[in-house]
Amino acid sequence: MGNTRGKATALLLVAQAIILVLFGLFVDYDVAAGPRNNSLTTHTTLAHYYPIYQDVHVMMLIGFGFLMTFLKRHGFGSVGFNFLLTCYVIEWSTLVNGWFGMIGSNEGRILIDIKSLLEADFAVATVLISFGAVLGVASPVQLIMMATIEVVCYNVSIYVGIPLKHIIILKQVTDVGGSMFIHAFGAYFGLAVARVLYKKSQTLSKKEGSEYHSDIFAMIGTLFLWLYWPSFNAGPASGTERHRAVINTVLSLSACTVVTFALSAVTDKKNKLDMVHIQNATLAGGVAMGASADLIVQPFGALLIGSVAALVSTLGFKYLQPILQRNIKLHDTCGVHNLHGMPGILGVVASAIAAAIATQETYKDSYHELFKNTTRTSGQNGGYQIASLAVVLGIAIIGGTLTGFLLKLPVWDNLSAEELFEDEVFWDCVETVSEDEAEQNGSNDKQHEVVA
């Protein structure tokens, strides 16, 4: 695709052909989507998940896609490659999630229903977070390769230990909204890739920046992410836990937004607001609420989590990101470390505290629904949250680093300095301005229209 001399095309067509065959070999409709059997009542599954699935789906394509259009010369690539990666990962993760789900069972087929599609979107989210770290600096071929490997690593991080029953820790931690498995994992995987791909030229490009309308396009992404985040965090839950996850997430996001506005202004020397913070740090409350969204943190606890997330994220954008870029050569285009990385860790810490103080009395009938391992104490549950985070981060960083080195091989269309953050490399975006128009407007405008 683009000037990739056909590599992306070939890769996609081969991948699509393989996926088609694998679907034929492995994938079937689940009974809830299969031939109707009027004696069974399976139709509630769709009603339970579908509206929430659609919200999450909007987050993937509109949310992530438009959030990344802030770059003034990379709008097509942001929304376009986001679209491509989403679709590719929906297919690929349906297979990989399915295979990992089979481990330890005798089922030989992957049976899919609406819940499988929701789970595919969670894998998509993970990949799109990593995409943000390398936005504008990786070619489509590199992105497809990254996604292919990341989906496997993502599943490894969720299912690690399952075959080794004695270290079965991850499946039994609580992380309904994916602070750990989606946000922290996706961020550190992507950051590891970005670190390996780092070139000095990335920090010198004059094209990495926004302009007035590209910032407004990006707000479409921000707001749809913000609006549907409660569905993301509550999606896998049901009953009163789902209800609570919605409330906690709305409260956390609201507090996060208020605090972000306050901190964005106060950290600016002219006291002006920075669109980067408003577009991103306002969402940190959703990330940080993820792991404890269905826990009884109390409404004020949700506000507190959101407020601290805003603090961590805004200060991260303002102070930490430039330091990391200078000192450890980490170029993070979308600031995923500040939006997904640190708030994800914060979310796990919050969930560890909530788990450690949880009692059967407080949670009543949902205690063992939420904390599945019946042999642990509450304190141990809290500890396992942290231990699990360490394992997830380890897999993310090792996996991302190895992936980064693979992507750096000269065979995968590495971008040169002039090709960074620039749509013209991969997209046919030259204006066909007619001669008399060009005359009338002055020849500069021709260039201008292409650019702005």
- Among positions 80-119, residues that touch a second copy (CB under 8 A) are 80, 83-84, 86-88, 90-91, 94, 112-114, 117
391 in Cβ contact with 170 (< 8 Å)? yes
Least distance (Å) between residue 98 CB and a second copy: 10
Cα-Cα-Cα-Cα dihedral sign, residues 300, 304, 305, 306: positive
Give the count of beta carbons closer than 10 Å to the beta carbon of residue 300. 10
Whether the CB-CB separation of 153 and 292 falls below 8 Å is answered with no
d(CA 237, CA 243): 9
The encoded tokens of residue 232 equal: 């993301």
Binding mask 184-223 for a second copy (x = CB under 8 A): ----------------------x--x-xxx-xxx-xx--x
Q: CB 105 → a second copy: shortest distance, Å?
A: 19
Query: Which residue's CB is nearer to a second copy, number 102 or number 450?
Result: 450
Task: For residue 174, state whether it binds a second copy (rule: CB under 8 A).
Answer: no
From 183, 195, 242, 331, residue interacting with a second copy (rule: CB under 8 A): 242
326 sits near a second copy (criterion: CB under 8 A): no
157 or 260, CB closer to a second copy?
260
Rank residues 218 and 291 by Cβ distance to a second copy and give the closer one: 218
Q: Which residues, numbered 292-321, are part of the site for a second copy (CB under 8 A)? A: 296, 298-300, 303-304, 307
Taking CB under 8 A as the rule, does residue 394 contact a second copy?
no
For a second copy, which is the closer residue by CB, 8 or 393? 8
CA-derived radius of gyration, the chain = 22
Q: Which of 12, 135, 4 is nearest to 70 (CA)?
A: 135
Cβ neighbours of 401 (radius 10 Å): 16
**Residue 46: Cβ-neighbour burial (10 angstroms; 0-12, 13-18, 19+):** middle
Cα distance between residue 193 and residue 191, in whole Å: 5
- Residue 305's region, left for phi above 0, alpha for psi from -120 to 50, else beta, is alpha
CB 190, CB 153: distance < 8 Å:
no
Binding mask 147-166 for a second copy (x = CB under 8 A): --------------------
Stretches 155-163, 326-334, 384-392, 426-434: which one binds a second copy (CB under 8 A)? Answer: 426-434
Binding of a second copy at residue 271 (CB under 8 A)? yes
Q: Which two tokens stand for residue 253?
A: 């996001």
- At residue 28, φ and ψ (nearest 5 deg) are -135, 160
Q: Which of 152, 156, 169, 227 binds a second copy (CB under 8 A)?
A: 227
Nearer to a second copy, 50 or 405 (CB): 50
Q: Based on the shown chain and the rule CB under 8 A, indicate whether residue 401 belongs to the binding site for a second copy.
A: no
